[in-house]
Structure 1
Amino acid sequence: MRSRQINFFISAKDYGIINDYIIRNQIVIYGTDTSITNSIDVDTHQVFLTKKEYVENLVINFTPNGIRYFDIFKSYLLELSLGGFYPNSKNAMNRGRVYFTKSYYDNDDKICNKSVLLNDLYEEFIKFLKKNLLVRYSGDKDYLYSQSAIEWIETNEAIQTKCGQRWISEKLQNTEEK
């Protein structure tokens, strides 16, 4: 299986730019429950993106108790995990990512390649993010950052965790505890 991924830090202030791109490019947004949604907002943590012409290539599985979910490996989807701030922890900024698989193994363990056009959707979305939203910060080779994420890190004197997937502000944590 081959896949592609880009990791980043953004904040809710950046969602409008992403929503505009999604609307302009007629991208379909699915929630984690496999239902179509209109946009991303502060309550959104993960969505799946595709084009109308790929809807027939979505694979939906069910848990034993009937919860629907996408088979991200076989479906023609981009996974957009927004990261940012979770409701239970406003003092930590979490890593986001765009991820997709270019191929997968079928039931006979044979490799199946997804459409080249899905790769194009990924490449165009990443190109847009890099041109309009994401930059390198502080010599970090692994992650990209929006300006609002950089401002939050610097204003709140945040420290990146050893694994690199979160920035934590002890300054905010101490304020919340008071």
Structure 2
Amino acid sequence: MNFSLSRLASVIACCALAACQSGGGSKDGLTARLEIRAPFESIVYQLKDRACSVQEVGHNGRILHESQRTLTHEEAASFWAALEQMQVRQWRRDYGATAGDGRNPVTAWKLVTRLGRSSTSSQGIGAFPSDERPNAPSTDTSTRFQNVYALFQGTVSPQSTEVAANQVPKALPAEDGNAVR
């Protein structure tokens, strides 16, 4: 009986030590999650320390696309610095809901971050942080929100972002021999 209790105690101690070493019990990790939900599709970006993933889900719950990658130390440092610079800690918790104009579907979103021991959570349905002040609401998709979205998108899929940024239209030859752009 003493043998089984000591063995159980050692298993518990090993599991606790493994959880602490893997960061499972740590409150000092870096985590960011951006969820964007539209009527027919949703997308979830998630970064935890250097691991990042994206998942696109159709309206029927079917996974349309899923990818994962590990960031380099430089990429991770750049992501977290950019996120901090975007003042997400100053965003309000809830930007509310707007009915929209009836022409475009309303987008629901949620951003959750944990930087060290500090965490934030922001959300809105058709309402976003304004460009003038991060804690003021806007019914337009603000540049401030678009920049955060682009940061997540570029971090998870840097190749597609680089390809899109480098797409320059080729000059077409005109009939008179001068190139037309």
Do both share a fold (TM > 0.5)?
Answer: no
CA radius of gyration, larger in: 2
TM-score relative to the length of structure 1:
0.23
TM-score relative to the length of structure 2:
0.23
